[in-house]
Structure 1
Amino acid sequence: MDIDKFKKVCKHAVQYFGETSRKQLAQEECAELIQALSKDLRGKKHNVEEEIADVLIMIEQLFNIYDMEKMNNNLNMKIDRLDKLME
């Protein structure tokens, strides 16, 4: 995957479609991932990998909408907490 293209296209999508549209689509994509995971856990045919890709694309778009500093602070705190849980 070309990470520069990924970031560029996601940033442009926010500008092109608008923040509200991207937030709504992020909700839909997360719901589809939940459904796919549920099917997988029940042993049914699923498309988890596709839905993960969709959610990652939407997450990158959300990075362009919300406060990156706040997200980084939260990421660091939560990664530290996860790391401590595994000690």
Structure 2
Amino acid sequence: MNIDRFRGVCMHAVQYFGKTSRKQLAQEECAELIQALSKDMRGKKHNVEEEIADVLIMIEQLTHIYDNYKIEKYREEKIDRLNKLME
């Protein structure tokens, strides 16, 4: 997938549908991922991969709403912490 196209479509979605709409849809998509993971863990038919894709798309849209500097700062801190846990 072309990353520039991906980001552009996500940015346009925020502009087109509005921030509130994207936040609500992100909540719904996260809930659907939780449900799919629960089914998988119980050994039932699931669509985890599809729901991961939906959540990743929504996360990209959220990065066009919230402060990317803060997001990157927290992501770096948390990945460092995760790495230290595995040392």
TM-score (norm 2): 0.99
Identity level (%): 78
Residue 64 of structure 2 is matched in structure 1 by 64
CA distance in 1, matches of 2:47, 2:33: 8
Query: 1:44, CA displacement in angstroms?
Result: 0.2
CA distance in 2, matches of 1:17, 1:44: 34
CA distance in 1, matches of 2:40, 2:5: 31
Q: Deviations over 1:45-84 (max 9, x none)?
A: 0000000000000000000000000001100100000000
Residue 80 of structure 1 is matched in structure 2 by 80
| Corresponding letter in the other structure for 2:15 | Q
Is 1:29 matched up with 2:14?
A: no
4+ residue stretches of structure 1 with deviation over 2 A?
Answer: none
Structure 2 stretches lacking a partner, 5+ long: none
Q: How many residue pairs align between the two structures? A: 87
Aligned-CA RMSD value? 0.3
Structure 1 stretches lacking a partner, 5+ long: none
Is 1:10 matched up with 2:33?
A: no
Residue 43 of structure 2 is matched in structure 1 by 43
